[in-house]
Amino acid sequence: MDIILKNVKKKDFPVFQSLAKSLGFEIIEENEKPYNPEFVKEILEGEKDIAEGRGIKMTMEELNKLWK
């Protein structure tokens, strides 16, 4: 059986770690990987463009024509 603890505070982790060791459990630490930096850069640039008025507005009809 696997138990996953999420959002554990750093100050609380040693408590869980010592409890697990005393019970003979295996501890595997996995940190979530952040988003790809290139992806984040593209999203932030897009938001900046929209804020600076460089975006375009389209109606639903115009959008539907794009994929038909």
pLDDT in tens, 6-55: 888 889 989 988 998 999 988 887 777 788 889 999 999 999 999 999 98
The structural domains of the chain, with segments of one domain joined by +, span 13-66
Using a cut of 0.95, tell me whether the model's pTM lies above it. Answer: no
C-alpha to C-alpha distances, 42 to 4, 19, 31, 36, 62, nearest whole angstrom: 32, 44, 24, 10, 24
List % helix, strand, coil for the chain (3-state, nearest 5): 45, 0, 55
